[in-house]
Amino acid sequence: MSNMINVALPKGRLGEKVYDMFEKAGFECPSIKEKNRKLIFENAEKGVRYFWVKPSDVAIYVERGAADIGVAGKDILLEYEPDVYELVDLNIGKCRMAVAAPKEFRDNPQKTLKVATKFSNIAQTYYNSIGRDIDMIHLNGSIEIAPILGLSDVIVDIVETGSTLKENNLEVKENIVPISARLIANKTSFRFKSEKIEFIAREIAAQTEADK
């Protein structure tokens, strides 16, 4: 195993913030700021290699060891339950998982509840915990239109500012769980590269404390 640390970053605004945290921790890689479409950036001297992946794919790279560490949303970790270590709550990318429905919707406990979501595992676990029978409708995006068109009664989705719900005449009915970005590590890497990974985790945790 090389001593290089491979870091999977979520592509997008959150990932750029995360890279800045790594830079502050002393693992800079200036070429990453060049405007191009490259996906892999390396600073051999610092022993670090970054790659941009789809946010929902970070956990797969880390679980399978293609990346030693990475940053993934708690939503993805709860939904797919990857076998990784969760090292630090970065306290950014904050939002919540919630049940939402049209304002006028009133749940009838006698009827099976139709739930549309991208997060079937989180939704199923939640409804099991309250003993509610549901009919799960798995969708891949634009979840908000499902109750408007009568495809579902409610949705389980991420709410950040709440403006997507508002603009579609929906409102939060129940909060399920708060979400934020987490630093995660591959279990084998954590054993064999523990010193460097723990150093990075400590530096990054210190920055999240400082940002509070």
| Contacts with ligand PRP, residue ranges (CB under 6 A) | 141, 143, 157-164
In the bound state with ligand PRP, the residue whose beta carbon lies nearer, of 2 and 163, is: 163
**How much is the CA Rg of the chain, to the nearest whole Å?**
19
In the bound state with ligand PRP, the residue whose beta carbon lies nearer, of 13 and 202, is: 13
In the bound state with ligand PRP, the residue whose beta carbon lies nearer, of 25 and 101, is: 101
Least distance from ligand PRP to the Cβ atom of residue 160, Å: 3
Whether the CB-CB separation of 74 and 176 falls below 8 Å is answered with no
For 175, list phi and psi in degrees, rounded to 5: -90, 135
Least distance from ligand PRP to the Cβ atom of residue 142, Å: 7
Element housing 99 (H / E): strand 95-102
Least distance from ligand PRP to the Cβ atom of residue 71, Å: 15
Sign of CA dihedral 31, 210, 198, 7: negative
In the bound state with ligand PRP, the residue whose beta carbon lies nearer, of 94 and 114, is: 94
Element housing 128 (H / E): helix 120-129
Instruction: Tell me the β-bridge partners of 181.
Output: 73
Least distance from ligand PRP to the Cβ atom of residue 76, Å: 11
